[in-house]
Amino acid sequence: MIGQYKKGDTTAYYFKAYHGLDPLTGKKIQTFRRGFKTEREARLAEAKCLTEYEKKTFRAKNTNTTFLQVYEIWKSHYKNTVKESTYVSQTNIAQRHILPIFGNKAINKITLTMCQTQVNKWADQYKRFFGIISIANQIFDYAISMELIDSNPMRKTLKPKRQKKDKEEIDEFYNKEELRDFFVLVEEMDDPEMLTFFRLLAFTGMRKNEVGALSWSDINLKAAQLKVTKTLAKGENNRTIFQSPKTKRSARTISLDPQTVEILKAWKKYSTKGLLFKNENGEPKSIVHVNNMLNRVWRKHPNFKRITPHGFRHTHCSLLFEAGATIKEVQERLGHENIQTTMDIYAHVTQKAKNEVADKFASYIGF
């Protein structure tokens, strides 16, 4: 649109170019310029403006869209591409760690220096800072697809090396003697549910949320087998939901030893149908239920070595190797998608055995 107006004693011209609707706000996108001496000059400027707008560089330089606005649109699309629990955990990370830093900034004004400074801070504060960077990358990449920026400044940052696990974290599992002593403590608690839950953790290598999702229909006591068909997860509004197993390999059949079968038979007197572990309404117990049971043990025996529920999975894996199981057998039993995960634990177990060689030799020689 070309118009004219009075500029002192002379006539000047302006143009108002329409570029469509802003996908974020729904408002018209317009460019207004004035001060042209002739109508022809204004029309040429308008045509040039419309042409330039079709180039990404023009939009990238002139957008006022904030990081938060891009995040909100990315979030609505991301929700349809992942499991509910993944959506909840990833958006929680974004809201806690990313939006407070970049949310109110114009997406095209966020620089490499700003991103590098923040990456360094995340690396200092969090062991799993790569996950935060990954989510930020997805949002910046989405802004590129919306033609709001030309490149992703987060991808140009130099990533600090991941911190190696310290000894305490690596040692977070029981050896055979420690596991035996742990179950002595559990049996003293006189709690059949606790005994059954920890027996399954330690003697099947299942993840705690896989155990929490078990139904009696998943278990064949005669064949001494159970099937992992689902897992518990945290959904929106802090709901506990059922989901498909973590990975394709996580859906698996696990053989049971005779003592575990007997413990399950005893527990079936208390939990006759539906879920193995449920509340009064027949619904799954909270995801943190196993942590609460473990804390009961620690309160009564504060000096006993502490491990997390996941530590029993590591325990099972380690003891399988000590018992002579192959790497492939362990991978299949635990449902590791990546064999490197199995290999890492195998390397740890074999290193422990190497370290004990000198002690075995000295003990045999006797002087």
In a domain, 258, yes or no: yes
- Residue 338 inside a domain? The answer is yes
Chain segment 105-129, per-residue pLDDT in tens:
999 999 999 999 999 999 999 888 9
At 170 the pLDDT is: 44
Do both 277 and 333 map to the same domain? yes
Give the number of other Cβ atoms within 10 Å of residue 120's Cβ: 15
One domain for residues 132 and 12? no
In a domain, 150, yes or no: yes
CA nearest to 333, candidates 272, 262, 253: 253
- Pair (195, 336) in one structural domain: yes
Task: For residue 176, give the amino acid letter.
Answer: K
Please report, in tens digits, the pLDDT of each residue of the chain (367 residues total): 899 998 888 999 999 988 777 666 667 778 889 999 899 999 899 888 877 776 655 555 556 889 999 999 999 999 999 999 999 999 999 999 999 999 999 999 999 999 999 999 999 998 889 999 999 999 999 999 888 888 999 999 999 886 655 444 445 889 899 999 999 999 999 999 999 999 999 999 999 999 999 999 999 999 999 999 999 999 998 889 999 988 888 999 999 999 999 999 999 998 888 999 999 888 999 989 999 999 999 999 999 999 999 999 989 988 888 888 888 888 899 888 878 877 877 677 666 656 666 666 667 666 6
Residue 212 backbone phi and psi in degrees, to 5: -60, -25
Identify whether 111 is part of a domain: yes
If one counts every other C-beta atom within 10 angstroms of the C-beta of residue 178, the result is: 13
Q: Of the candidates 134, 156, 178, which is a domain's last residue? A: 156
pLDDT value of position 169: 47
243 and 324 co-located in one domain: yes
Tell me the pLDDT tens digit for each residue of 290-299: 999 999 999 9
Q: Is the domain of 225 the same as that of 339?
A: yes
Q: Which of 129, 156, 183 is the last residue of a domain?
A: 156
* 129 occurs within a structural domain: yes
- Of the candidates 247, 250, 243, 141, the one whose C-alpha atom is nearest the C-alpha of residue 205 is 250
pLDDT for 48 equals 86
Which pLDDT belongs to residue 56?
A: 55
Give pLDDT, residue 18. 83
Beta strands 225-228 and 28-36, pairing class: unpaired
Domain count, the chain: 3
- Dihedral of CA atoms 114, 119, 125, 129 in degrees, nearest 10, equals 140
Of the three residues 98, 127, 156, the one that is the final residue of a domain is 156
In a shared domain, residues 19 and 117 = no
* 87: enclosing H helix or E strand: helix 84-93
Domain membership of residue 141 (yes or no) is yes
Within-domain flag for 363: no
Report pLDDT for 152: 96
Residue 59 lies in a domain: no
Beta strands across the sheet bearing 225-228: 219-220, 225-228, 252-255
Helix, strand, coil percent content, the chain, rounded in steps of 5: 55, 15, 30
The enclosing domain of 131 has a CATH number of 1.10.150.130
Which positions ≥6 away from 34 have C-beta within 8 Å? 5, 12, 13, 14, 15
If asked whether residues 13 and 98 sit together in one domain, one would say no
User: How deeply is 360 buried, as exposed, middle or buried, from its count of CB atoms within 10 A (0-12, 13-18, 19+)?
Assistant: exposed
User: Would the pTM count as exceeding 0.75?
Assistant: no
- Other beta carbons within 10 angstroms of residue 333's beta carbon come to 20
Q: 251 with 245: CB under 8 angstroms? A: yes
Residues 267 and 135 placed together within one structural domain of the fold: no
**How far, in Å, CA of 147 to CA of 65, rounded?**
11
CATH code of the domain in which 271 resides: 1.10.443.10
Does 221 lie in the same domain as 146?
no
129-to-70, 124, 126, 293, 358 alpha-carbon distances in Å: 22, 9, 5, 30, 39
Separation of alpha carbons 196 and 278, rounded Å:
13
Q: Which secondary structure element, helix H or strand E, spans residue 125, and what is its range?
A: helix 112-125
Query: Domain residues for 106?
Result: 67-156
- Residues 288, 249, single domain; the answer is yes
For residues 184 and 292, membership in a common domain is answered with yes
247 and 308 belong to one structural domain: yes
pLDDT per position as a tens digit, 240-291: 999 998 888 899 999 999 999 999 999 999 888 899 999 988 899 998 999 9
